[in-house]
Amino acid sequence: MPPSSLIPHPSSFKERPYALLCELTYRCPLQCPYCSNPVDFARHRDELRTEEWERVLSEGAALGVVQVHFSGGEPLLLPDLPRIVRRARDLGLYSNLSTGGTLLTEKMAKTLREAGLDSLQVSVQDSDAENSDRMAGGAPSFEKKMNAARFAREAGFALTINVVLHRQNLDRIEAIIAMAEKLGAERLELANTQYNGWALKNRSTLLPSRAQVERASSVAGLARERLKGKMEILYVIPDYFEQFPKACMQGWGRVFMTVTADGSVLPCQTAREIRGLTFENVRTRSLEEIWFRSETFCKFRGTDWLPEPCRSCERKEMDFGGCRCQAFLVTGDATVTDPVCSRSPQRGLIEKALEEAVPGGVLIYRNANESLRLG
C-alpha cells in the first residue's frame, strides 16, 4: 500500500508542469523586509548538494518541464552554480537566474553565459540609491546592482530588472522605469509586494494607498505603450486592491512546481506557510510521483474541492478560488475563498488591513548573518 501522502488522485490528472523553480539556497547577504525566504530559516539548513540538484533537473525535464528558474536567497553563493546551469542546458531547459546582484562579477557573468544560462534577472529595491540600500537592510548595494546589470548586458544576457513595489517606493515609479531604460533591460517586472513571510510581518508599513496604486497603474500603462518593442513592462495591480483574485500560479499544481533549498517540493514557493500540509522531498520521492500522486499537490487542484461561493461562481475555471496561501495567511483556513475576492465572506479582513496601513512605521528585517550561516 502506498503511504497516505502518495495516493492516486480520483480525477486522473494528466497535465504536466512546464516551469520549475529551484530555490538553491536561502543564504543571502541582504535582508529585505519583504523577503520571500521562509521566516524559520533554522529549519532549512540541510541544503541539497550539487549532484542532487542535477538529479532534480533531470527528473524535471523527464516530467515535461521546459523552463527552470534558479533563485534563493542568493544563488551566487553556490560555488557550483555554473555546473548546475550547465546541466540545465544539457537537458535542453531554458534557464533564468534571479539574483540580488551584489555578488555578480564580470567574470561570473561570462562564466554563467558560457555554461548556458539564457536570461538573468537583477533585483533592485529602488531607483533612489539611499532608499534602495535602506530597503536591502542597510547594506551598500545599489551601485553593485547597477554594475551587475551592466555585466549581464555585456555578457549577452536577456536582462530583466525586478523591482518589488510598496508604499516606500511606489511614488518613484517614473524614475524606476527610467532606471531600467538606462540599464538597457529587455524586461521590467514591477512586482507589487505579495503579503506573505516577511512582507506579512511588515504589511502595515509596506501596503500602499489606493491613490498610489491607481497612479502607478496609469504611469506603467503609458510607459508600456511608449516602450513597446523596446522594453517589456509587467505591472499587475496588487491583490488587495483587486475585485477578484488571480489564478495563483495558473492554478494549484497545474503548471508550476518549486523545489526548496532542502528538497521539499511545493505547488508554489509560499505553500510552506500553510500549516497542516505535508510536503514530499526529492530525497525520498521522484518529482513525477510527487506531481501526480502526492496528497498535497492534489488537495487544491482543479475545482472539485471549491467551497461556496466559488463552487457556484462563473469565474471558478478562471481563478480556481484564488490563492490558497493568501486564504490561509489572512483567515487561518486554506480551504476558504481567497479573501481578496469581493464575493468572499472574509473580504472585510482585507479592508481592515488596508485601513491599518500607515505612512510611516518601523520595518522588521530578518537577520542577514543568520541566513548566511545556513548550510
pLDDT digits (tens, 9 = 90+) for 328-357: 999 999 999 999 999 999 999 999 999 988
pLDDT tens digits for range 246-285:
988 889 999 999 999 999 999 998 999 999 999 999 999 9
Does residue 15 or residue 88 have the better pLDDT?
88
Q: So what's the pLDDT on residue 139?
A: 82
Q: Judge whether residue 9 has pLDDT over 90.
A: no
Q: So what's the pLDDT on residue 258?
A: 97
Task: Report CA dihedral (16, 21, 25, 31) to the nearest 10 degrees.
Answer: -140
The sign of the torsion formed by the CA atoms of 27, 33, 37, 40 equals: positive
Q: How confident is the model at residue 367 (pLDDT cuts 50, 70, 90)?
A: low
Q: Judge whether residue 35 has pLDDT over 60.
A: yes
Instruction: Read off the pLDDT of each residue in 177-201 and give the average, rounded to a whole number.
Output: 95
Instruction: Read off the pLDDT of each residue in 366-372 and give the average, rounded to a whole number.
Output: 53
Q: Judge whether residue 11 has pLDDT over 60.
A: no
Q: Judge whether residue 5 has pLDDT over 50.
A: no
- Is 231 within 8 Å of 188 (Cβ atoms)? yes
Does residue 250 or residue 289 have the better pLDDT?
289
Averaged pLDDT score across all residues of the chain: 92
Instruction: Read off the pLDDT of each residue in 353-367 and give the average, rounded to a whole number.
Output: 79
* 179 closest CA partner among 236, 131, 138, 108: 131
* 69 closest CA partner among 189, 179, 150, 171: 189
Q: So what's the pLDDT on residue 370?
A: 53
- Is 339 within 8 Å of 330 (Cβ atoms)? yes
- Is 114 within 8 Å of 121 (Cβ atoms)? no
Does residue 369 or residue 107 have the better pLDDT?
107
pLDDT tens digits for range 101-119:
999 999 999 999 999 999 9
Q: Judge whether residue 322 has pLDDT over 70.
A: yes
Q: In terms of DSSP bridges, do strands 232-235 and 256-259 run parallel, antiparallel, or are they unpaired?
A: unpaired
The sign of the torsion formed by the CA atoms of 82, 88, 94, 99 equals: negative
Tell me how far the alpha carbon of residue 108 is from its chain's centroid.
24
Q: So what's the pLDDT on residue 364?
A: 77
**φ, ψ for residue 345 (rounded to 5)?**
-65, -20
Q: How confident is the model at residue 374 (pLDDT cuts 50, 70, 90)?
A: very low
Q: So what's the pLDDT on residue 276?
A: 93
* 121 closest CA partner among 232, 254, 273: 232
Q: Judge whether residue 148 has pLDDT over 60.
A: yes
DSSP state of 128: S
User: Helix, strand, coil % (nearest 5) of the chain?
Assistant: 40, 15, 45
Q: So what's the pLDDT on residue 249?
A: 85
- Is 298 within 8 Å of 253 (Cβ atoms)? yes
Helix 142-154 to helix 106-115 angle (10° resolution) is 40
Q: How confident is the model at residue 4 (pLDDT cuts 50, 70, 90)?
A: very low
Q: So what's the pLDDT on residue 135?
A: 94
249: left (phi over 0), alpha (psi -120 to 50) or beta: left
